Each structure stands twice: as C-alpha cells, then as structure tokens.
Structure 1
C-alpha cells in the first residue's frame, strides 16, 4: 500500500491516442477532461491567460466558427503531420501505410 501511495498519477492520454478510441470509450474514459474543439480550446486559453479579445467573447466565438478559420486550422494540422512524417526517424511507411498514402506527394 505504501508503494502505491508513492506512485505518481498517470499523465493524461495524448490526443492522438484518444482519437484512436471509439467515441463512447473516449467519453467515459476521460471523464470531464475530454477532447476540446478548437473553439473550446481557444476559449479555455483566453480564460486561463486572462487576456481580453479585441472583440466581444461572442465575436471571438463567431470568428472561430467561420470556415476560413477551420480551413486554416485544418491546413496547419496537415502541414504539421507532413513535417512530422518527413522528419521523424521512427516513421515506417510499412507500419503506417495509410499515413504514407495520405502524404505520398511529400515522399517523391
């Protein structure tokens, strides 16, 4: 019992790991600390840092819901994944054929 009390708490699961889980298990497994949408993440960051948006909170919410913002976020995520796949020495196209196919234009 003493050994168990001294153990550190398990860190939260990574977003990548959680995305691979079924939706129901993601919801029940994480409790209240589940995945955040882009809007929720920005709102939480605004509250945590204490900064005030130039516009109202509703204006910030509206700006985050625009297709331009969502597209820019999506493109940035794709660019980050492409860079990681290109530069990560542990990436094996045999082990991850779908990632290789999705980003094959960068490998030629």
Structure 2
C-alpha cells in the first residue's frame, strides 16, 4: 500500500492516509503524529498493541507487544524506525513514556537492544 503507484486504487488510499492522518488514528494519537511527522510513511495501530507501518520505499514493519499493553508500542516503533535510518519529527513525542507513581514520574519505558 505505501509503495503503490499513485494512479492505482492503493496509491489513492495511501495518498489520502498521508494527507489526512487524523482520519486514520484520531487527533493527538501517536499513529497520527507518526504519519504527520514522517514523510512517505503510512501506519495503522490496532487492538492489543499491534502496529503496522509501510515506508514509501516498500519496507514494512509489523509490531506486536506480547502482553497487549499500549504504553511500549510507540517507544519501540520509534526505536525501530530510528535504527532503520528513517527521519521523523515525531520521535521526541513517541519516545517519552513516563511511568507515574501518584502522578509523579518514577521511571520510563525505554527501548533497549534495538540497533
């Protein structure tokens, strides 16, 4: 879908997703911010911490957090995209996932082992 020729039905869908990412995920969502901040990328998140990403060059990423928790999903995806050399203005927002204790940050979700 992400690498489809522009005149094909798939290409038109990809162009619409890129032009209106808020219709894919909603305002303020990490998937919306990722699509808006990363040229050529289309993405869709799903239930139980699933993420699918397509890059304009034809590469794709499928991500599933085993326990279904959503908190680690954007952190992991940002790390994977960085490791692939994909430039994005969305990383700063995606990579910060604080763990709160009584409303105060006591830790953070951090991606490790991705290079």
TM-score interval, normalised by the smaller of the two chains = under 0.3
Higher strand share: 2
Larger Rg: 1
Q: Give the TM-score normalised by structure 1.
A: 0.27
